[in-house]
Amino acid sequence: MKIRRSAGALTAAVALSLLAACGGGNTAAPSSPGGQGGKTLVIDTAFQLKTTDPARMFEPSGLLIDQTIYDTLLTFKGGDVTKPVPALAASYTASDDAKTFTFKLRPEAKFSDGTPVTSADVVFSLNRVKNVKGNPSFLMAGLTVTAPDATTVEIASEEPNTAIPFILPNPALGIVNSAVAKKNGASDAEDADKTDTAEAFFNKQSLGSGPYVLESYSTTSQVVLKLNENYWGTKPAYSKVVVRNTQANVQRLNVQKGESQIAVDLSPEQAKNMGDLQVVNGASPNVFFLFTNNNPEISKISSNPKFQEAVRYGIDYQGLVDLAGEGAVQAPGIVPSVFLGALPAGDGIKRDVAKAKAALAESGLQNPTVKLNYPSDVQVNGLNFGDLAARVQANLKEVGINVELAPASVQTALESYRGGTEELGLWQWGPDFPDPSNYLNFLPGQLVGLRAGWAEGSAPELEELGGKARTTVDDAARSALYVDIQHKMNEGGPIMPLIQPAQILVAAKSVTNLQSNALWLVNVRELG
């Protein structure tokens, strides 16, 4: 599960996870090697799914499903999210000020009913996402889409926005057949949040140009996809894909017995001793972080710079990695290791108890006691917040800091987190899109920075670097700026990146080219 933008999707995701059901039934073995030969792929995952309507979809299971149905202007290949590549757009250019992006559409692209994909479809689809004002609408904030001709699309930004090529691969920005959509209640008008009535239609029939079309849909049991006979690209290896709502422990049994080919949600412990199955194990893009509130009105203890230093060097980062299990890594900076601008693994803070004790002594605080808030009813990549919190408590006890654990339901914890009233907070950030600009939210005066009591003007040099990073176009220069920003965040300030848990896929050996993707987990299109 990903705690997406401001953790807003977390509550819905927790509620949806309660619907997870045991997968069952035998699936016919693949009958031939080709896409036309009747091969069926069964994927087990614990559903976080509300809809397959792109304009309203922003949950992990929906991203996996819609990525197979809808093409986007750009996409990512395999597990590499550092470089957007062409999809519906054969090419694109960016203005020097990163305010205007021009896309040339593939002339061969067509929808599942055989009609060509045009720039008018792109304009309609992206404006609909913006104006329906669903969960993914923020992706289009400040953007204007126009069509100079039938094969050209321009996206203009009010401010320099180097993240646009990294935002566009999101399946929520999938391009729909506008003519059919309009006939079934879809609207891209400014009042679409009130007038668009097409969601039910999108949950019964897909209107995309991807390699699959929707055959059946349920948020509680399974979603079935079948081959798009009019697909303009390379035919996929499987003619049918069944995505089943299945609890993790049952996923393990199903993939071992051959009743499924892929299990998505196993923890590192569950993924052990899997026999001749293949296990793809790497760090997820989700980052657990700790903050000590920088606002003295909230706490004179947590806002003390030397106290913050004591916490920073008192945490046993390697111990947290070991707790998270095989595949987890320390988060050397706030930008995940798989993104542009991430710090090298060796640049993370190392535990130094002597330095932590010295900093605590310099703080003037004697045996301080602080409260640590975190959500108690949530797991991310199989890891409980409570287990991490207990380790942090034990680590800081060795330094001379007393930590009172304050677990709460996610609904309650989110209130104090968003309100900026937590003395210490343990949270997790799942990326809205795979670009380092998403992590400028952690700087003073920004979304997460304010939740940590880090007001604008608190770190002028760091804030100036953030402004440069936001407007720099060249990727090499951008990367260097984000590296510098993270080094300075590690030197001081209230936010401490902790770990990236493991993201694991377990699959039958018959499945080839299996790679984990930070955005949609499994790229069904590329599987063999």
What is residue 448's predicted lDDT score, i.e. its pLDDT? Answer: 97
The CATH number assigned to the domain with range 5-280+504-526 reads: 3.40.190.10
Q: For residue 216, which amino acid is it?
A: S
The three-state (H, E, C) secondary structure of 224-281, written as one string: EEEECCCCCCCCCCCCEEEEEECCHHHHHHHHHHCCCCEECCCCCCCCCCCCCCEEEE
What is residue 478's predicted lDDT score, i.e. its pLDDT? Answer: 92
Per-residue confidence band for 471, with pLDDT thresholds at 50, 70 and 90: confident
- d(CA 153, CA 66) in angstroms, rounded, equals 22
Q: Is 352 helix (H, G, I), strand (E, B) or coil?
A: coil
How confident is the model over 24-62, as pLDDT tens digits?
A: 333 333 333 333 446 999 999 999 999 999 999 999 999
Find the range with the poorest average confidence among 15-24, 181-190, 250-259, 423-432. 15-24
Residue 23 has pLDDT above 50, yes or no: no
What is residue 378's predicted lDDT score, i.e. its pLDDT? Answer: 80
Residue 251 has pLDDT above 70, yes or no: yes
- Across 473-494, average pLDDT: 95
Does domain 287-500 fall under CATH 3.10.105.10? My reply is yes
What is residue 211's predicted lDDT score, i.e. its pLDDT? Answer: 98
Helices (H) and strands (E) in the chain, counts: 16, 23
Per-residue confidence band for 18, with pLDDT thresholds at 50, 70 and 90: very low
CB 434 within 8 A of CB 519: yes
Neighbouring CB atoms inside 10 A of 151's CB total: 18
- Cα four-point dihedral sign 325, 326, 328, 330: positive
What is residue 282's predicted lDDT score, i.e. its pLDDT? Answer: 87
- d(CA 76, CA 299) in angstroms, rounded, equals 44
**CA gyration radius for the chain?**
23
- d(CA 204, CA 496) in angstroms, rounded, equals 45
What is residue 1's predicted lDDT score, i.e. its pLDDT? Answer: 31
What is residue 432's predicted lDDT score, i.e. its pLDDT? Answer: 87
Token representation of residue 102: 């021009």
Q: For residue 437, which amino acid is it?
A: S
Strands 80-86 and 89-94 turn out to be unpaired
Find the DSSP H helices in 30-98.
60-69
How confident is the model over 414-428, as pLDDT tens digits?
A: 999 999 999 999 999
Adjacent-strand bridge partners of 369: 402
Residue with tokens 């510098």: 484
Cβ neighbours of residue 519 closer than 8 Å, sequence gap 6 or more: 63, 67, 76, 81, 169, 170, 171, 433, 434
- d(CA 193, CA 183) in angstroms, rounded, equals 17
What is residue 95's predicted lDDT score, i.e. its pLDDT? Answer: 93
Cβ neighbours of residue 14 closer than 8 Å, sequence gap 6 or more: 1, 377, 378, 410
What is residue 130's predicted lDDT score, i.e. its pLDDT? Answer: 98
What is residue 465's predicted lDDT score, i.e. its pLDDT? Answer: 97
- d(CA 515, CA 399) in angstroms, rounded, equals 41
What is residue 435's predicted lDDT score, i.e. its pLDDT? Answer: 94
What is residue 475's predicted lDDT score, i.e. its pLDDT? Answer: 87
How confident is the model over 201-221, as pLDDT tens digits?
A: 999 999 999 999 999 999 999
Domain ranges of the chain: 5-280+504-526, 287-500
Residue 473 has pLDDT above 90, yes or no: no
What is residue 381's predicted lDDT score, i.e. its pLDDT? Answer: 86
Find the range with the poorest average confidence among 26-40, 347-361, 388-402, 440-454. 26-40
Residue with tokens 């401001």: 6
- d(CA 178, CA 188) in angstroms, rounded, equals 9
The mean pLDDT value of the chain amounts to 92
What is residue 2's predicted lDDT score, i.e. its pLDDT? Answer: 36
- Across 57-86, average pLDDT: 95
How confident is the model over 119-147, as pLDDT tens digits?
A: 999 999 999 999 999 999 999 999 999 99
